[in-house]
Amino acid sequence: MMSGSSPPPPSLPAGSEGFFRGYTKLCKGLAVMLFLVHLVVQLFPSAVTYLALIPARTIPFAWNLITAGYVEQTIPGVIVSIIGLLLFGKLLEPLWGSKELSKFIFIVNFSTSACVFITAIVIYYITQQEIYLYTPLSGFYGVLSGLLVGIKQLLPDQELNLFVLKIKAKWIPSLVALISIVVSFFVKDLMSYLPVVLFGIYMSWIYLRYFQKRLETGLKGDPSEEFSFSSFFPEFLRPILDPIASIFHRLLCGRSERSDARGQTLDTSPLPGSDSIEANRRRERGQRALEQRLAEKLAAVRSSEGTSLDASDKV
């Protein structure tokens, strides 16, 4: 005779519940939007004309500079974008906050599209080939590349396992740029993604380097040497790149420094070592946040295992 108690409901495998936890509402909402926009483009192909960036039509359709970044025209593209957004956002949003992350995504997306538009116009006037004016350009890869730059800034020494290789997070944006350049020479269909990736990396660095407001100091940007432009390149190239980067810094991205800011002298020059101290503090915050997330995941796994054992004992 069977007992009156009903059998326990089936549970997810140990660890799977922890896997689905931690993704923020902002990133999940953007992921749903990427999927819905992809679905609209598949059901109504003519929508690409109004949503993707087509340089010849951008002047009347200026909203393309915003919408193009959220249009993935291929199934692999939307899958990679959604997974990348969820994973990278899971790392960055607890450190930046939802407001700053959404601001970062908007700025990087818009500035990347604007740079791609200008580049396409310039190439057209050089080559006189209309394909550069009428090829629909879109994709979330610029923002994904920018998020990798954010991870480079906050968790530079975190080691990531890539198949059989271990690589520090600070080299991931450079590796992505190098792979994109090499692949574009062999696969012409991927050539249109190259400027999106490269401008995504560069514009996100510009924002984080010079404009992102640091709540702990009230200053803008990250002036540390560990996040300089030359830090994206191998050590032997830095003596060549640093003088060039300093010229562009003075011409395009010079900052007005506050005389009363913490960590500065009366002549508005940074105190020796203040940049490296700030960089160390940022890395420590990122490391603590990462360790906290790992501890929460481990606790969730142990909790699910304990629940499964209790259910089996009752049976």
CA separation (Å) from 283 to 138, 211, 280? 33, 19, 5
Euclidean distance between CA atoms 164 and 167, whole angstroms? 10
**Which backbone phi and psi does 185 adopt, to 5 degrees?**
-75, -25
Cβ atoms of 115 and 314 closer than 8 Å: no
pLDDT at 204: 94
What span, in angstroms and rounded, lies between the C-alpha atoms of 104 and 150? 10
Closest Cα partner for 304 from 293, 296, 294?
296
The pLDDT of residue 225 is 84
CA 270 to chain centre: 29
Element (H, E) at 168: strand 165-168
Determine the topology of domain 25-251 in CATH: Rhomboid-like fold (1.20.1540)
pLDDT of residue 221: 83
Q: What is the rounded distance in angstroms from the CA atom of residue 315 to the CA atom of residue 311? A: 6
Residue 286 is predicted with a pLDDT of 56
User: Helices marked H in the chain — which ranges?
Assistant: 16-19, 25-43, 48-51, 64-67, 75-96, 98-127, 131-134, 141-154, 172-186, 193-210, 238-252, 274-314
Q: What is the pLDDT along the chain (315 residues), one digit of tens a residue?
A: 444 444 444 443 444 444 446 688 899 999 999 999 999 999 999 999 999 999 999 988 899 999 999 999 999 999 999 999 999 998 898 888 899 999 999 999 999 999 999 999 999 999 999 999 999 999 999 999 999 999 999 888 887 776 667 888 888 999 999 999 999 888 877 888 899 999 999 999 999 988 888 766 667 888 888 888 888 888 888 888 888 777 777 765 554 444 334 444 333 444 444 455 555 555 566 566 556 655 665 555 455 555 544 545 555
d(CA 24, CA 34): 15
Going by the DSSP 8-state scheme, the letter that residue 171 receives in this structure is G
24-27 long-range CB contacts below 8 Å, 24 or more apart?
A: 24/89, 24/90, 24/93, 24/94, 24/98, 25/98, 26/89, 26/93, 26/98, 26/101, 26/102, 27/85, 27/86, 27/89, 27/90, 27/93
What pLDDT does residue 43 have?
94
Which of 278, 224, 296, 286 lies closest to 92, judged by CA? Answer: 286
Please report, as a single letter, which amino acid is at residue 45.
P
DSSP 264: B
Burial 137-160 (b: 16+ CB within 10 A, else e): bbbbbbbbbbbbbbbbbbbbebee
Cα–Cα distance, 74 to 200 (Å, whole number) = 20
Alpha-carbon distance values, 48 to 24, 38, 130, 139 (Å)? 29, 10, 18, 12
